[in-house]
């Protein structure tokens, strides 16, 4: 019988939009692309906004804190801010955090297991493997801070941590103890630092991991473990060797310098790829900047007024938040947007002065800092202060505080006052950058968003709402602007959360428990 098209390879088809796994691990050049892929996972768009990797993680850490205020109760992220969403086992949004973290770990494991056989110079192999191991550590660290109880520096950290994935596997696996998690994280970071120390060439962008990034994260880990002096010393390594410098031009917000990786302070950052990141609502700045997006229009983010009051008048950071929104010169907000007292100007990505035609929603993305140098000084300050080396602590603090406020003089505080001063600087400096919830948790502090409404005072919402009246009368001087929304309160349940309450632990997504029966849930 006549038979056509039966050539041997008729049925051999290959994807034109993906490559075979074997090609990826053939040599170090290709394997480096697998690391680039991981960099992208850090901010990759998911199926529904705001699923966007570490960017969502960063925002979430501030939603759960008291320093970043949502000026309207009906805003996006309300259920995050009122502490209900991260306690829902079936909700897809907190699940995304769990998903992107383990996606990075799985990709890192693939690299770690296959890179040794890839062709190429040893230095490139170290560069690839060092970054992979770093990512595994960083991701485990991000996870254990959420799902496990806090690391107690006193020891006996046998409480459930997370599922440690140290090899490629889809097998069920139980959660390791918090102690074991931190052991693994530290071992990985040490190995990453060792491998990346062997690398002599410069990374191509600040998105890549070099030894300083690894050390900076190691400093964070040690601080979280309460290993005060170790943390301070590790942060000092970064300060001394990374080449980063303090650069208060980063607060030249009108030029968008808070979202510009060319700033000398930045150590690790997402570098914006405007032609790749084209979807609105899948970007950090879609929820916190002046981009022309409804969430930013309706609900500008504000600083907690009680924290704002602690900032000195001469501090370059003070104008980042605006108390008098009617008279503030050059207030930047989206066209048609609301203005609220103490609204933020920190993350300006699209300024009218830049170009009149582009201030129109065309700019969606901008660079985003993951690690900045001042954090390292502040880790030094906190570590030394809590580790009873107050002199070193004051010196480290001075670098940051003086850079921001020329009138600042070396602190004379001691003891709790000194740590309080350092923590205040930390809250102001790192506002909106994803630290507050983690700081409260590691320090075993309560969440306190200000006192309850008191009778006889105006809460700023009901009667003369701030939407039409920027300066309500008869405000309670003790109250924070939390719960002072224009019409409705977010709720009493999240106004105050006692230290150590079960709510500090995120619940494990139900799907993990279903498909990994060895994984136990946190108390609901």
Partner 1 sequence: MKKHFLFKVLRLVIIFLLAGLMHVSAMSHSQTITLHAKHLSLASVLETIRQQTGYAVYANIVHLKDTKPVSITANNMPLQTFLDKIFADQPLKASVEDKTIVLSRKRVTQAGTSQAKVPAIQVHANNLDVQQAQITGKVVSAETGEPISYANVVVKGTTKGISTDAQGNYRLDGVAADAVLIISSVGYQSLEIAVNGRKQIDAKLALQSETMDEVMVVAYGTAKKSTYTGSAAVIGEETFKNRPLTEVTQALTGTTPGVQVGTSNGQPGSAPTLRIRGIGSFNASNDPLIILDGMPYDNAITSINPTDIESITVLKDASSAALYGARAANGVLMINTKRGRTGKPTVVAKYNFGLTSRQSSDYERLSDKDYMELYWEAYRNSTVLNGGTLADANRDAGAALLAGIGYNPYLMDAAELFDLNGKLNPNAINHWADDTDWYGGITQTGKRHDTNVSISGGTEKTDYYTSLGYMNEEGFIIGSKFNRISAKANANSQITKWLKMGTNLNTAQSKSDGQQAETSGAISNPFRATRFLGNIYPIHLHNPATGEYILDENGNKIPDFGSGWTSEDGTIVISGRDNFAGSNHPFEVHDTYNGYLRQTINLKGYADVSLLEGLKLTINGGVGTNMYRSWNGGMIYEQKGNAGSSAQNSSNTNTWTFQQLLNYGKDWGRHHMDVLAGHESYQYQYWYLSTSMKTQTIPGTNFEYANFTEINALPNSYTHNYRVEGYLSRVNYDFDEKYFASASYRRDASSRWHKDSRWGNFWSVGAGWSLDKENFMKDVRFVNRLKLRTAYGTVGNDDLPGYYPWRAVYAPNDNGEAGFVQSSLGNKELTWEVSKNFDAAAEFVLFDNRLDGSVEYFNRVSSNMLFSVPQPISSGIETIDVNAGSMYNKGVEVVLNGNILKTNDWSIGLNLNTTFLENKLTSLPLDPYISSIYKIEAGHSRYDFYLREWYGVNPDNGFNLFRADLEQFEFTPDELKEINGVMYTENIEKSLYVYSGTSLPKATGGFGADIGWKNFNLKFSFYYQLGGQFYDGGYKSFMNTSLVYNSRHKDLLKRWRQPGDITDVAIFTNGTNSVNIDAASSTRWLVTSNMLELTNVNLSYRLPKAFLQSKNISDAVVYFSADNAWLLAHRKGLYPRRNFNAGYISNDDVYAPSTIASFGLSLTF
Q: Does position 28 bind partner 1 by CB under 8 A?
A: no
Interface stretch with partner 1, choices 69-77, 121-129, 225-233, 340-348 (CB under 8 A): 69-77
Q: Which is closer to partner 1, CB of 104 or CB of 400?
A: 104
Contact 82, 491 (CB under 8 A): yes
Q: Does position 37 bind partner 1 by CB under 8 A?
A: yes
d(C-alpha 95, C-alpha 466), whole Å: 35
Q: Does position 173 bind partner 1 by CB under 8 A?
A: yes
Contact 161, 181 (CB under 8 A): yes
Q: Does position 463 bind partner 1 by CB under 8 A?
A: yes
Of 28, 109, 176, 210, which lies in the binding site for partner 1, with binding defined by CB under 8 A?
Answer: 109
d(C-alpha 323, C-alpha 305), whole Å: 9
Using alpha carbons, select from 188, 193, 240 the residue that is nearest to residue 376. 240
Interface stretch with partner 1, choices 119-127, 216-224, 335-343, 378-386 (CB under 8 A): 335-343
Q: Does position 498 bind partner 1 by CB under 8 A?
A: no
Q: Per the structure block, which two tokens stand in for 448?
A: 């306190």
Q: Which is closer to partner 1, CB of 79 or CB of 304?
A: 79
Q: Per the structure block, which two tokens stand in for 421?
A: 């001063």
Using alpha carbons, select from 105, 273, 288, 271 the residue that is nearest to residue 203. 271
Q: Per the structure block, which two tokens stand in for 72?
A: 């309207």
Of 51, 54, 72, 234, which lies in the binding site for partner 1, with binding defined by CB under 8 A?
Answer: 72
Buried b (16+ CB within 10 A) or exposed e, 130-142: bbbbbbbbbbbbb
Of 160, 184, 271, 396, which lies in the binding site for partner 1, with binding defined by CB under 8 A?
Answer: 271
Q: Does position 361 bind partner 1 by CB under 8 A?
A: yes
Q: Does position 87 bind partner 1 by CB under 8 A?
A: yes
Of 120, 451, 491, 500, which lies in the binding site for partner 1, with binding defined by CB under 8 A?
Answer: 491
- Spatial neighbors of 137 by CB under 8 A, at least 6 apart, are 184, 185, 186, 188, 189, 192, 217, 221
| Cβ atoms within 10 Å of 22's Cβ, excluding its own | 9
Of 409, 455, 473, 477, which lies in the binding site for partner 1, with binding defined by CB under 8 A?
Answer: 455
| CA 333 from centre of chain | 23
Q: Per the structure block, which two tokens stand in for 148?
A: 């496990």
Smallest gap from residue 461 Cβ to partner 1 (A): 6
Using alpha carbons, select from 490, 506, 393, 403 the residue that is nearest to residue 450. 490
Smallest gap from residue 407 Cβ to partner 1 (A): 39
Smallest gap from residue 211 Cβ to partner 1 (A): 20
Q: Does position 39 bind partner 1 by CB under 8 A?
A: yes
Of 28, 55, 79, 305, which lies in the binding site for partner 1, with binding defined by CB under 8 A?
Answer: 79
Smallest gap from residue 416 Cβ to partner 1 (A): 31
| Cβ atoms within 10 Å of 4's Cβ, excluding its own | 6
Instruction: Report the site for partner 1 in 383-442 (rule: CB under 8 A).
Output: none
Contact 230, 361 (CB under 8 A): no
Q: Does position 84 bind partner 1 by CB under 8 A?
A: yes
Of 119, 158, 172, 330, which lies in the binding site for partner 1, with binding defined by CB under 8 A?
Answer: 172
Q: Does position 112 bind partner 1 by CB under 8 A?
A: no
d(C-alpha 70, C-alpha 96), whole Å: 22
Quote the DSSP letter at residue 273. -
Q: Which is closer to partner 1, CB of 36 or CB of 249?
A: 36
Smallest gap from residue 125 Cβ to partner 1 (A): 17
- The position carrying tokens 């001087």 is 477
Q: Does position 15 bind partner 1 by CB under 8 A?
A: yes
Q: Which is closer to partner 1, CB of 290 or CB of 344?
A: 290
Using alpha carbons, select from 300, 230, 255, 326 the residue that is nearest to residue 485. 300
Interface stretch with partner 1, choices 302-310, 408-416, 427-435, 462-470 (CB under 8 A): 462-470
Of 132, 490, 503, 504, which lies in the binding site for partner 1, with binding defined by CB under 8 A?
Answer: 490
Residue 344 belongs to what H/E stretch?
A: strand 343-344
Instruction: Report the site for partner 1 in 140-169 (rule: CB under 8 A).
Output: 162-163, 165, 169
d(C-alpha 365, C-alpha 278), whole Å: 8
Of 106, 261, 445, 475, which lies in the binding site for partner 1, with binding defined by CB under 8 A?
Answer: 106
Instruction: Report the site for partner 1 in 274-303 (rule: CB under 8 A).
Output: 275-276, 278, 292, 294, 297-298
Q: Does position 89 bind partner 1 by CB under 8 A?
A: yes
Q: Which is closer to partner 1, CB of 186 or CB of 294?
A: 294
- Indicate the SS3 state at residue 215: helix
d(C-alpha 438, C-alpha 64), whole Å: 9
Q: Which is closer to partner 1, CB of 296 or CB of 425?
A: 296
Instruction: Report the site for partner 1 in 202-261 (rule: CB under 8 A).
Output: 204-205, 207
Q: Which is closer to partner 1, CB of 254 or CB of 452?
A: 452
Using alpha carbons, select from 481, 464, 440 the residue that is nearest to residue 344. 481
Q: Does position 14 bind partner 1 by CB under 8 A?
A: yes
Q: Which ranges constitute the DSSP H helices of 25-121?
A: 28-41, 54-63, 78-81, 92-114
- Spatial neighbors of 314 by CB under 8 A, at least 6 apart, are 405, 406, 407
């Amino acid at each position: 019988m006549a038979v056509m098209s039966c050539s041997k390879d008729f049925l051999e088809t290959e994807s034109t939009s993906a490559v075979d796994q074997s090609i990826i691990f053939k040599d170090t050049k290709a394997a480096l692309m697998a690391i680039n892929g991981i960099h992208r996972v850090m901010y990759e768009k998911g199926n529904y906004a705001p699923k966007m990797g570490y960017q969502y993680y960063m925002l979430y850490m501030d939603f759960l804190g008291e320093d970043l205020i949502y000026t309207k109760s009906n805003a996006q992220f309300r259920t995050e801010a009122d502490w209900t969403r991260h306690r829902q086992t079936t909700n897809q949004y907190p699940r995304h955090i769990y998903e992107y973290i383990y996606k990075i770990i799985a990709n890192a494991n693939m690299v770690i297991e296959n890179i040794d056989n890839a062709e190429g110079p040893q230095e490139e192999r170290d560069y690839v493997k060092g970054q992979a191991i770093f990512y595994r550590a960083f991701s485990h660290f991000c996870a254990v801070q959420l799902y496990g109880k806090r690391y107690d520096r006193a020891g006996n950290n046998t409480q459930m941590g997370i599922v440690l994935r140290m090899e490629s596997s889809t097998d069920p696996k139980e959660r390791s103890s918090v102690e074991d998690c931190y052991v693994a994280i530290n071992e990985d970071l040490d190995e990453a630092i060792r491998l990346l120390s062997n690398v002599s060439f410069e990374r191509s962008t600040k998105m890549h991991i070099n030894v300083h990034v690894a050390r900076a994260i190691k400093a964070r880990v040690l601080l979280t473990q309460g290993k005060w002096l170790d943390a301070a010393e590790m942060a000092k390594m970064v300060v001394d060797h990374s080449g980063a410098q303090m650069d208060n031009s980063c607060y030249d917000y009108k030029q968008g310098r808070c979202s510009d990786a060319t700033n000398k302070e930045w150590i690790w950052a997402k570098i914006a790829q405007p032609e790749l990141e084209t979807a609105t609502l899948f970007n950090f700045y879609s929820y916190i900047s002046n981009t022309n997006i409804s969430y930013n229009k309706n609900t500008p983010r504000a600083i907690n007024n009680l924290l704002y009051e602690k900032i000195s008048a001469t501090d370059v950071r003070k104008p980042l938040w605006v108390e008098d929104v009617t008279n503030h010169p050059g207030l930047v907000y989206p066209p048609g947007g609301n203005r609220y007292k103490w609204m933020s100007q920190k993350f300006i990505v699209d300024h009218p002065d830049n170009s009149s035609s582009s201030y129109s929603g065309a700019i969606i993305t901008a660079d985003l800092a993951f690690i900045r140098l001042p954090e390292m000084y502040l880790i030094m300050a906190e570590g030394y202060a809590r580790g009873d080396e107050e002199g070193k602590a004051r010196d480290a603090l001075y670098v940051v505080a003086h850079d921001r406020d020329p009138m600042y003089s070396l602190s004379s505080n001691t003891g709790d006052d000194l740590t309080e001063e350092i923590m205040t600087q930390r809250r102001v400096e790192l506002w909106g950058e994803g630290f507050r919830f983690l700081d409260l948790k590691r320090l075993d502090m309560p969440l306190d968003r200000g006192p309850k409404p008191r009778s006889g005072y105006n809460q700023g919402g009901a009667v003369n709402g701030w939407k039409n009246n920027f300066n309500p009368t008869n405000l309670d001087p003790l109250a924070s602007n939390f719960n002072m929304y224009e019409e409705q309160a977010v709720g009493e349940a999240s106004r105050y959360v006692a230290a150590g309450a079960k709510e500090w632990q995120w619940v494990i997504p139900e799907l993990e428990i279903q498909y990994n029966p060895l994984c136990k849930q946190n108390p609901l």
